[in-house]
Amino acid sequence: QKEVEQNSGPLSVPEGAIASLNCTYSDRVSQSFFWYRQYSGKSPELIMSIYSNGDKEDGRFTAQLNKASQYVSLLIRDSQPSDSATYLCAVDRDDKIIFGKGTRLHILP
Amino acid sequence: GAGVSQSPSNKVTEKGKDVELRCDPISGHTALYWYRQSLGQGLEFLIYFQGNSAPDKSGLPSDRFSAERTGGSVSTLTIQRTQQEDSAVYLCASSLVPPGSGEDTQYFGPGTRLTVL
């Protein structure tokens, strides 16, 4: 099993709808979880960090963490064309942050 | 500075030459990371520094790659005898605290695009 797994996509979502991005991880002792957005040709930028089970909301973004099931998700409400990007899930393991390969999200105008 | 800076932004070199990439982290950030990202691929972890020491060098792809950090700040990644497969964007990131410590968010620099001809 890969350490951090994401569906590569592309995930196509109509403008205004909810985009749901999922990530599973293999190390049960991981404590820190991150979602990054990366536009083509640009560096990753932090969207959300989450450390405790449950939901964390920030504007149109909600991160959900379930440590028992070892998954973390990102919901984007009222999706906008500017949300079209690759979303990277990252999880801490030992002394590293491990990144998934990312999910390409395409918001359809 | 306000963010992580990297130089050069672009580097074109000939196969067999050595290159040095520089990263200047956010002031006060103790942890510094190097990643490599090939076109259309995910982030490949290379090395992590906590202060000046590198507890984890497992990601360096070969002995042609080395990195150092001095004064707990600037880091350089050196690639000797470059090969075409080394062509990628090399990203540096820094965080306030070590990974797994909470509030260990990594902030990325703009990257160095390396092209080996």
Q: Which residues 41-60 on chain A approach chain B with CB closer than 8 angstroms?
A: 42-46, 49, 51
In angstroms, the CA B92 to CA B42 distance is 14
Question: For residue range A49-65, what is the model confidence (pLDDT) as tens digits?
Answer: 999 999 999 999 999 99
pLDDT in tens, B4-49: 999 999 999 999 999 999 999 999 999 999 999 998 788 888 998 9
Q: Are A99 and B43 in contact (CB under 8 A)?
A: yes
Q: What CA–CA distance (Å, rounded) separates B67 from B79?
A: 9
CA distance A95 to chain B (A): 6
- How many Cα atoms are found within 13 Å in the side-chain-facing hemisphere of A31? 10
One-letter identity of residue B27: S
A4 contacts A23 by C-beta, under 8 angstroms: yes
Is A88–B43 a contact, with Cβ atoms under 8 angstroms apart?
yes
Question: Which residue type does B37 have?
Answer: Q
Q: How far is B90 from chain A (nearest CA, A)?
A: 10
